[in-house]
Amino acid sequence: MNCVGVMALHKPALDRSGKRAILALREAAGPELPLAAEALREHPDPADLIRTGPWLAGPRHWAAADRQLRMLELRNITVVPVWQFPATLGRLHPLPMVLFVRGNTQLLQQEAVSIVGARAASRSAQEWAMARAAQLARAGTLVVSGGARGIDAAAHWGALRAGGVTLAYLGVSADRIYPLTNRRLFEVILDRGGALVSEHPPGAPTYKGAHALRNRFIAAHASYVVIVEATEGSGSLGTARWANRYGVPVKVSPLSVGQKRDGISWLMRKGWASMWDE
């Protein structure tokens, strides 16, 4: 199993007071969260940043941090600060301050292949995704996807049924099950040593565009991205855009070429993808 470069192994781990401080800083930063994340990456002391500004935490920020910390401890969710991100996730834009992880945090450091595609995918496309994920898992490769219905679920199940592990980047907080139809999938992911990862703290409300932003993690973590049966304008093509921005190769399944609203052909015309040939 290959691991990707870690940004700064010498920087400190978080104790409980550090977790509380970083959660309060996250609340205080508000819309300037990416700027605060960059500052914290260079100066990994959230308590000091809160004291010196410009993001000063007030009583409501500390109260929110205390609520979140209790939920993190109750749900056994790990806080991974920005200075512990692997180099692949360090290129994220916008940069999150922390990641919230249920399960195996070491998987963040592991090289991976991401498989994504349509939620309302055909049976043949789901079978193709499952077979490719199983092939990768048997070779010892971590399979990453987004925990959604359709192709995402097929990729996760393919890896699991081949005896591998898999990681899901979520568009909701790590304490939530979404979609509910994938409850059993998420349980098995965790039971088999996988991980569920979110940039949203426990109890955070969902918002429009959260799943589209989640796709940047799926792209950034991967050695390459495989897209199966996507329509034009879909979230899967959004993942391809993120991959193109990060210089991550994109491969596509031949199954949906020529179909109505075919996003695979669109990717090929743009020169953003090559056909899967393994």
What per-residue confidence (pLDDT) applies to 8? Answer: 43
Give the SS3 label for residue 57.
coil
Instruction: Say which CATH topology domain 110-275 has.
Output: Rossmann fold (3.40.50)
Half-sphere exposure of 175 (CA within 13 A, CB side): 18
Q: How far apart are CA 117 and CA 120, in angstroms?
A: 9
pLDDT tens digits, 181-205: 999 999 999 999 999 999 999 988 8
Domain residue spans in the chain? 16-103, 110-275
pLDDT tens digits, 5-33: 544 444 567 899 999 999 999 999 999 99
Mean pLDDT for the chain overall: 91
Q: How far apart are CA 2 and CA 16, in angstroms?
A: 31
Q: What is the CA radius of gyration of the chain?
A: 19
Task: Give how far the C-alpha of residue 56 lies from the chain's centroid of Cα atoms, to the nearest Å.
Answer: 29
Among candidate residues 91, 90, 78, the one with its CA nearest the CA of residue 7: 90
> Above pLDDT 70, what percent of the chain?
93
pLDDT tens digits, 138-167: 999 999 999 999 999 999 999 999 999 999
What per-residue confidence (pLDDT) applies to 219? Answer: 98
Q: Is the pTM of this model over 0.85?
A: yes
Token look-up 């249920």 returns 102
What mean pLDDT comes out for the span 242-260? 83
Q: How far apart are CA 147 and CA 170, in angstroms?
A: 6
